[in-house]
Amino acid sequence: MHLSQGLFLLSALGVAFAASSTHEVKESVNPPRGWTLHSVAPAHHNIELKIGLPQPNFPILEKHLYEVSDPFHERYGQHLTKEEVEALVAPHQESVDLVSEWLATHDIRESDIQRSPARDWVTIKVPVRLAEKMLDTTYHVWVHDASGDSLVRTTSYSLPKHLHEHVDVIQPTTMFSRWKAHKSTIHDVSPAPASLTGPNAKIDASCNSTITISCLQQLYNVGNYTPSADVGNSIGITGYLEQFANRDDLQTFYAEQRPDAVGTTFNFVSVNGGLNNQSADAAGVEANLDVQFAFGLSFPINSTFFSTGGRPPFIPDIGTPEDTNEPYTEWLDFILAQENPPLAISTSYGDDEQTVPENFARRACAGFAQLGARGVSLMFSSGDGGVGDGDDNPATQTCLTNDGKNQTKFIPGFPASCPFVTAVGGTEFIEPEIAVFFSGGGFSNFFARPAYQDEAVKKFLDTLPPGTFEGLFNPNGRAIPDVAAQGERFRVFLAGEAISVAGTSASSPAFTGIVALLNDVRLKAGKPPLGFLNPLLYTIPEGFNDITIGNNPGCGTEGFTAIPGWDAVTGLGTPNFGKLKDLVVGY
């Protein structure tokens, strides 16, 4: 080859590489409502970038999920193994190679990369200055007006053109979710009345003012059912944002409400450096609520509390670099890598769906689908804003969209809006049990209504007078909640004192405790665990106490109304364990 030919070839290759490396916008969002631009992000601030590679075979996994979750399908209960699920979500090798080559151009070696077991997520830790170069963007510090929380985010990022089809999502970039506990701030924490019920008492009027384990057992027809500790059953609670479950408080709770459990405790698992601070002043209301009622209801089933480290807010005037990431993605990564995750897991955290970029919401939802296919039941609280946004006071909700149009819309919550999880709304009182006003409910703007709830939701929509809430919600979206449970006046022990707590953050662990008992029924009968619940639940509405009183106001409206059958306030209703245990063992 002549020198001139070689120079021409090298020049051509350089032009070709430059053309293939031309950045084009991958994602762009409008500046988020309720957040104020504070400053340019410090160049040395560390970011843990998570790069999601496409999952080309996810539709096949979804097909498997619905087959093993459909009680009328011959494969019902034949859950997939961890390895089978990972094979179905693995990216094409071309995507792995091209993303690796791109990272190498920025001096990021294989030893700097963490890969998920399925190789569909790539995680790297880089300073802001490198992230900005890689993504052709500028990061800023944004401050949340109402809370003062700060995040390092951008409203747009780009990738080389040839990578667009090989990357689904990169975060943290455009996600402004605050991932807060679903706990009512109106009826939040107050001194609790003296308990009038004991572990063997009949349901009585005291349960209108104080919810205890006994109240839930009687109200949901648990009776004297005794689960086993040795049939392979398990239940889990997720904890975030330095919410610590206090073991001494659990013992105090057990002594009063579950004396047969005194002296026992939960397994503790640290995720992403999550701590286990057992000092009394570090005890968390949310964590204590969750473990006391979920584990109290399901005792002696094997129980685990996951403490996940990481907190998105960043303090801009501190010079020490900190990681900026959404902590629940850390938990999802961790739990997907486990061989034997708990069979029923409750999460009482979330945020408005519109604060989560749709491509990221879909990837997180796909992670929940993987767990469901493996036989795990996932419960998420539906939120405490009624049909409105995260403001718990219906009178002050703005309910404006984040798409730059500032339209008034009902605001669903995520992850409750994911069709692969069971969303739990809230109720209160007994005889009759009614919808609590803050019960989050509505329709997703990201996810279409799944087939399993078509019939029930269509019946509900048909009851709405023509023009009701026209333009305020997406009638074709995934509808929430699926079910409900008590959400007011839970008697919780915190730092040795009894307090009263409310929110759908109470409803989710309560319902999860019932699910753990139902798994016990199936396991004792030699059957597999329930796994992804929704396709089954919508076929057995007779297993629920239908809630027909109440509504969930928000956005300047009265919200939806609880009616016979499914509704967008309490879903199918609250569980009747006595009926459900006979129904679930029949499949």
Task: Summarize pLDDT for 312-321 with one digit per residue, the tens.
Answer: 556 665 555 5
What is the Cα–Cα distance from 72 to 81, expressed in whole angstroms?
A: 21
**Is pLDDT at 198 greater than 50 in this prediction?**
no
**Is pLDDT at 179 greater than 80 in this prediction?**
no
- For CA atoms 541, 544, 549, 551, the dihedral sign is negative
**What is the largest distance, in Å, between two alpha-carbon atoms of the chain?**
97
Helix and strand totals (H; E) in the chain: 14, 27
Distances (CA, A) of 108 to 48, 90, 111, 146, 473: 13, 22, 8, 38, 45
Annotated binding site: 546-547, 565, 567
pLDDT of residue 189: 45
What are the tens digits of pLDDT across the range 519-566? 999 999 999 999 999 999 999 999 999 999 999 999 999 999 999 999
- Higher pLDDT: 87 or 403? It is 87
The topology under which CATH files domain 181-313+326-584 is: Rossmann fold (3.40.50)
pLDDT of residue 6: 39
What is the Cα–Cα distance from 314 to 322, expressed in whole angstroms?
A: 7
pLDDT of residue 395: 62
- Encoded amino acid at 293, one letter: F
Q: Give the domain ranges of the chain.
A: 24-55+90-176, 181-313+326-584
- Active-site residue list: 286, 290, 505
**Is pLDDT at 255 greater than 50 in this prediction?**
yes
Rounded to a whole number, what is the distance in angstroms from the first to the last CA of the chain? 73
pLDDT of residue 394: 63
3-state secondary structure (DSSP) of residue 390? coil
128 near 44, Cβ under 8 Å? yes
Average pLDDT over every residue of 345-350: 93
Q: Could you tell me which of 295, 189, 188, 321 has the C-alpha nearest to residue 239?
A: 295
pLDDT of residue 318: 53
Average pLDDT over every residue of 108-118: 96
pLDDT of residue 312: 54
325 near 50, Cβ under 8 Å? yes
Confidence at 186, pLDDT banded by 50, 70, 90: very low
- Higher pLDDT: 221 or 180? It is 221
For Cα atoms 203, 214, 247, give the angle at the middle one, nearest 5 degrees: 160
What are the tens digits of pLDDT across the range 272-330? 888 888 888 878 899 999 999 999 999 999 999 999 877 655 666 555 556 555 667 88
Q: Are strands 234-239 and 544-545 parallel, antiparallel or unpaired?
A: unpaired
Q: Could you tell me which of 318, 250, 251, 317 has the C-alpha nearest to residue 290?
A: 250
pLDDT of residue 33: 81
What is the Cα–Cα distance from 526 to 403, expressed in whole angstroms?
A: 51
Q: Could you tell me which of 340, 480, 473 has the C-alpha nearest to residue 420?
A: 480
Average pLDDT over every residue of 493-512: 95
What string of DSSP letters covers 63-77?
HHHHHHH-TTSTTTT
φ, ψ dihedrals at 214, nearest 5°: -60, -40
Prior bond of 259 cis (ω within 30°): no
Residues ≥6 apart with Cβ < 8 Å to 14: none
* Residue recorded with tokens 């409008």: 30
Long-range CB pairs of 533-536 (<8 Å, 24+ gap) are 533/69, 533/377, 533/422, 533/482, 534/69, 534/419, 534/422, 534/450, 534/452, 534/453, 534/482, 535/66, 535/69, 535/70, 535/71, 535/452, 536/69, 536/70, 536/71, 536/584, 536/587
pLDDT of residue 406: 86
